[in-house]
Structure 1
Amino acid sequence: MCGIFAVHGINAPSADRTRFIACSKMQRHRGPDWSGCYVGKRSVLVHERLAIVGVDTGAQPLVSEDKKLILAVNGEIYNHVELRATCPDYKFKTHSDCEVILPLYKKHDKALCGLLDGMFSFVLLDESVEPPRIIAARDPIGITTLYQGWSSKRPGAVYFASELKCLVEECDKIISFPPGHVYDSKDDSTTRYYNPPWLNEDADDAAIPTKKADLKLLRESLEAAVRKRLMSEVPYGVLLSGGLDSSLIASIAARETEKVAHAQYEARERRQQEIQNESPTPPGAVIVSEDTTIASWPQLHSFSIGLENSPDLLAARKAAHYLGTIHHEYVFTVQEGLDAIPEVIYHLETYDVTTVRASTPMYLLSRKIKAMGVKMVLSGEGSDEIFGGYLYFHAAPDPKSFHQECVRRVKNLHTSDCLRANKSTMAWGLEARVPFLDKAFLDVAMNIDPKEKMFSKGDKQEVDADGCPKMEKYIIRKAFDVPEGEKKEQFSDGVGYSWIDGIKDYAESVVSDELLAKAHERWPKDTPDTKEGYYIRDVFEGLFKSEAAAETAVR
């Protein structure tokens, strides 16, 4: 992933080039590898690059051969090879997975968004028309972040950025750009391009899926989702908590990594034999292959974090041993977590208590991972929302309610787990990829009859024909023959129960009863009702003082 910043609809953009570069620089942690800037007739596009694919040739903004189309992208397009094949007349200038958006725009206009398989936010400027046109889009679920803003000082101008902090000094109105939508300056419209049958705007009228669970298809779809996310020219790893979701992802990734490493080894052996046959090599000489990709890390590395002897550390250690990954675990203290909270809020750009709690350990872990030279990790976000894995789902009164709650949770992932996974990692220039939110996998999993996802607890818990208990996420367990696991933990609980207690205790020491009682006077909207909430909101306001910034965090 990367960081993008764009302004469209301004006069004399060259005069503000330096200012807008400074705005984008505030998110340079997202793209520490290189920066690029394009100044058009009425627009400025700035890009902060984290190089994962097309490392040597993918600098942005990308410019078409006729210099009429300019593109800045944050994300990865996993089906770019297949899409390139549909554009045989276009002369590609880079190996970047994102460049394919340019010829797709020429062929399909903004309908191109529906063809993309990946996680992305992009801004595309078309200077072949008058007035110049800009389109901006965000991936279907909102795995990547994108904000849109307007300034009363620049009527008619529109701003976009990967992070809120780039816009707070420029804009007095800011929104979180909606996932699965595309903006078009031609008619100043924002429309939904991603609208599968299960994702209905009015959940009460939504048709409830009736398809029986195809466990083989479910398994193969997730395997394919992991496989495509191993597209990388740099070392990668997997976040491993030891729970079902991350363990499944790690298991598939370990197997696929081994396949790739074996294939690379065989290719090197063949190449070595060819060279020896062409020109005999003295005994003992070493022939170095020119292959890159993951050859330096032929075995999957896994990473976990927690307080001393926390559930996540113990479970991850056990899972890593079983999977055969090279495992790295990091222990943090409650005080280290508390010290990091202001930084975490600065990068998260939200005051949601649950998100801050869960993001702090991930933020600390991401720094350790990046220090090892890793630039991409796989993570297990989305499974609980898709399969109704949270324990409260057992109380769903009927299949319709169960499905509607799953849809609601998936639609809101961009405000919680996706936001956490994206910004906690990108704070250190580390990219997180989330296979459970693969578009094709969602089409399979979200169209399963919710009756097959429902579960009960205690004496009411059913068992299947094989005697396996129908517990939470039963069908994905069954698809991979995963035995019954331990009690489900939220990420912030699993790293150690004293972490949450530590935040609460600290908030108790810095927020008086009197301050909390008057919280509604200070924040009439979205008023915090706990001292922990008050403390986090206070830190957020100190970092982002504008009312426009606070509005983007409102649930």
Structure 2
Amino acid sequence: MSGIVALQGDLKDSEKLETMLSKLEHRGPDARETYTMADSFLGQVKSQGEPSFTKKRAATLVLDGQPSYLGKQISREELLNLYLEKGTKFIKQLGDAFTFILSDGDELVAARDTFGARPLYYVNCENGLMFASEIKALEELNPDAEIKIFPPGTYYSSTEGFSTFKKIPGFQANIHASPGSQRYNQKAEELNRLLIEAVRKNVTDQENIGVFLSGGVDSSIIAAALDKITDKPIKTFAVGVAGSDDVMKARKVAEFLNSEHKEYTYDYDDMMKVLPEVIYYLESFDVELVNSSIANFLVAYLAKESGMEVVLSGEGADELFGGYHHLKDCSTDSELNRELEHLLKGLHNGGLQRVDRMTKAHALDCRMPFFDKDVIDFARVIPCNWKITDEGMEKLILRQAFDGMLPEEVLWRKKVQFGIGSGNEGVMEEKIKNQITDKEYRNAQKNTSFTFKSKIEYYYYKIFKEKHPLKGIESTVNRWLA
């Protein structure tokens, strides 16, 4: 894991680069490196064991994540070799979660993965461009500049400009069979194998690896898959308000798998204590995202304090297999498929932003096996009624794939949003709305360029602006239910 920055153009000021990197120390607290080439400055912060700069034939790069090329993971040196041999043409063959910035003295190139699992932002300055993994590394240096999200599936070249190299994959079933049919059962077995293999690709014997266990079906499946490929008890982590459904269900899964389980229960005061940190690191004030991020922040802290270097998450299953309640309102298969594609396109400043920021806040690396290419390709072509049944059961084939490997009451549990299942949303809503008077709320509605959807959003917004006062910064925030 690492945080990366770059300056390109007539911006030869090493102090700026150091200031930017200091804002990203949480992403890589063990080392800091900078490199200068012609009119480009590159920098990174990194964790212990993370490779240093790769330099070859007067070219160098900084990297966050682990890209693959034609389906095979590649090293930094291999990535740089591909550029030196092929120019920017090789980028369209890259996959998995990554952002990188490279320079050969004549050209600067930056790229971000298809789904935006790894973050990147940029600013157009008077004399050039600035790039950084997080907004906070850019905002203080450019008080009048507009910070923009570097689009997923895009690369930038100082000679070519911005180019889209890969789009979010579409959904279109090429299998036609009913749930319960022989074909359906065969595909459920295939999905089981694919997910176990996807987990295997994301773990090594040399790393201390845990699982975020929310008590929902997605994280429980990741835990069951990890348990299948290791001889030792796996390590699981859960958090929530005392007595919350998530905590109780996670405990049942841990007992079923005989995992080394740790849980942390918290109350309103605990949530309010970490709320400013959560919003600072998250770089958002969206209510649903903040509420779920509180639990994510605390479970990441619990895992890090327990010695974990890497955690596995069930992120992505809802978007691939139809896990959200509103999807049941889709009247046709094509409507459902369009909505799933829309959800995937929004992940980069939704669920993926939450996972990245809350884990990196604790210098923790999070991997998401549901984003494995083979799993995605599987989900793209299966029938919609294998995902959501006529009776309204979501993620049907995903549950079927792990039938017998998890407790029935968890495997067939209805979808509950993380912030709700952990108990956060109800507690925060009840307490905060009494802290904002109707008069203050009405005045706030008049003095902002958008309409707040609730008092709690306004409360989060006030903290957000205190932490990130840059004018226009709201444009980087995705307000999901606004």
Q: Is the structural similarity TM-score above 0.5? A: yes
Give the TM-score normalised by structure 2. 0.91
Question: C-alpha offsets along residues 55-79 of structure 1, whole Å, 9 cap, x if unaligned?
Answer: 2xx4433212x2x111111112367
Spell out structure 1 runs of 4+ moving beyond 4 A. Answer: 78-84
| Superposition deviation, residue 454 in structure 1 | 2.9
Q: Which amino acid aligns with 2:66?
A: E
Q: Which amino acid aligns with 2:419?
A: S
Q: Where do residues 481-496 of structure 1 align in structure 2 (5 Å cutoff)?
A: 481=403, 483=408, 485-496=412-423
Alignment partner, residue 184 of structure 1: 157
Q: Tell me whether 1:123 sits opposite 2:101 in the alignment.
A: yes
1:60 to 28, 52, 72: 52
Q: Distance in 2 between matches of 1:551 and 1:69?
A: 35
| Superposition deviation, residue 211 in structure 1 | 2.9
| Superposition deviation, residue 193 in structure 1 | 1.4
Alignment partner, residue 8 of structure 1: 8
Count residues with an aligned counterpart: 463
2:111 partner SS: strand
Q: Which amino acid aligns with 1:474?
A: L
Alignment partner, residue 386 of structure 2: 452
Equivalent pair of 1:111/1:193 in contact (CA under 8 Å) = no
Q: Compared with structure 1, are the counterparts of its residues 59 and 452 closer, same or farther at alpha carbon in structure 2 (3 Å cutoff)? A: closer
Alignment partner, residue 62 of structure 2: 72
Q: Where do residues 126-137 of structure 1 align in structure 2 (5 Å cutoff)?
A: 126-127=104-105, 132-137=106-111
Identity %: 31
Question: C-alpha offsets along residues 188-228 of structure 1, whole Å, 9 cap, x if unaligned?
Answer: 2x2221236517xxxxxxxx433346333323222222111
| Superposition deviation, residue 363 in structure 1 | 0.6
1:110 to 88, 98, 106: 88
Alignment partner, residue 339 of structure 2: 405
2:342 partner SS: helix
Alignment partner, residue 94 of structure 1: none
Q: Distance in 2 between matches of 1:126 and 1:232?
A: 36
| Superposition deviation, residue 40 in structure 1 | 1.6
Q: Compared with structure 1, are the counterparts of its residues 409 and 232 closer, same or farther at alpha carbon in structure 2 (3 Å cutoff)? A: farther
Equivalent pair of 1:78/1:228 in contact (CA under 8 Å) = no
1:321 partner SS: helix
- Of the structure 1 ranges 134-143 and 75-84, higher mean CA displacement relative to structure 2 is found in 75-84
Q: Tell me whether 1:50 sits opposite 2:47 in the alignment.
A: yes
Alignment partner, residue 33 of structure 1: 30
Q: Which amino acid aligns with 2:437?
A: S
| Superposition deviation, residue 183 in structure 1 | 1.1
Q: Which amino acid aligns with 1:494?
A: G
| Superposition deviation, residue 500 in structure 1 | 1.7
Structure 2: 5+ residue runs without aligned partners? 177-183
Question: C-alpha offsets along residues 284-314 of structure 1, whole Å, 9 cap, x if unaligned?
Answer: xxxxxxxxxxxxxx43211111111211111
1:430 to 349, 364, 367: 364
Q: Where do residues 165-244 of structure 1 align in structure 2 (5 Å cutoff)?
A: 165-171=136-142, 172-188=145-161, 190-195=162-167, 198=170, 208-212=172-176, 214-231=187-204, 233-244=206-217
Equivalent pair of 1:36/1:59 in contact (CA under 8 Å) = no
Equivalent pair of 1:27/1:48 in contact (CA under 8 Å) = yes
Alignment partner, residue 474 of structure 2: 550
Q: Which amino acid aligns with 1:509?
A: N
Q: Which amino acid aligns with 2:220?
A: S
1:545 partner SS: coil
Q: Compared with structure 1, are the counterparts of its residues 408 and 20 closer, same or farther at alpha carbon in structure 2 (3 Å cutoff)? A: same
Q: Where do residues 82-101 of structure 1 align in structure 2 (5 Å cutoff)?
A: 82=72, 97-101=75-79
| Superposition deviation, residue 101 in structure 1 | 1.0
| Superposition deviation, residue 81 in structure 1 | 10
Q: Tell me whether 1:520 sits opposite 2:445 in the alignment.
A: yes
2:390 partner SS: coil
1:473 to 387, 392, 395: 395
| Superposition deviation, residue 80 in structure 1 | 10
Q: Tell me whether 1:142 sits opposite 2:120 in the alignment.
A: no
| Superposition deviation, residue 433 in structure 1 | 0.8
| Superposition deviation, residue 506 in structure 1 | 3.2
Q: Which amino acid aligns with 1:536?
A: Y
| Superposition deviation, residue 165 in structure 1 | 0.3
Report the RMSD for the aligned CA atoms in angstroms. 2.0
Alignment partner, residue 536 of structure 1: 460
Equivalent pair of 1:226/1:435 in contact (CA under 8 Å) = yes
Alignment partner, residue 181 of structure 2: none
Equivalent pair of 2:322/2:340 in contact (CA under 8 Å) = yes
Q: Which amino acid aligns with 2:46?
A: R
Give the TM-score normalised by structure 1. 0.79
1:322 partner SS: helix
Q: Compared with structure 1, are the counterparts of its residues 197 and 347 closer, same or farther at alpha carbon in structure 2 (3 Å cutoff)? A: closer
Question: C-alpha offsets along residues 366-423 of structure 1, whole Å, 9 cap, x if unaligned?
Answer: 1221122211100001111111111222221111111111111111111111111110
Q: Where do residues 348-387 of structure 1 align in structure 2 (5 Å cutoff)?
A: 348-387=282-321
Q: Compared with structure 1, are the counterparts of its residues 554 and 118 closer, same or farther at alpha carbon in structure 2 (3 Å cutoff)? A: closer
| Superposition deviation, residue 46 in structure 1 | 1.0
Q: Distance in 1 between matches of 2:299 and 2:358?
A: 9
Equivalent pair of 1:307/1:333 in contact (CA under 8 Å) = yes
Equivalent pair of 2:222/2:313 in contact (CA under 8 Å) = yes
Q: Distance in 1 between matches of 2:37 and 2:222?
A: 43
Q: Distance in 2 between matches of 1:405 and 1:521?
A: 33
Structure 1: 5+ residue runs without aligned partners? 85-96, 200-207, 259-297, 462-470
1:336 to 259, 270, 279: 270
Q: Which amino acid aligns with 2:167?
A: N
Alignment partner, residue 225 of structure 2: 252
Q: Which amino acid aligns with 1:60?
A: S
Q: Where do residues 255-404 of structure 1 align in structure 2 (5 Å cutoff)?
A: 255-258=228-231, 298-404=232-338
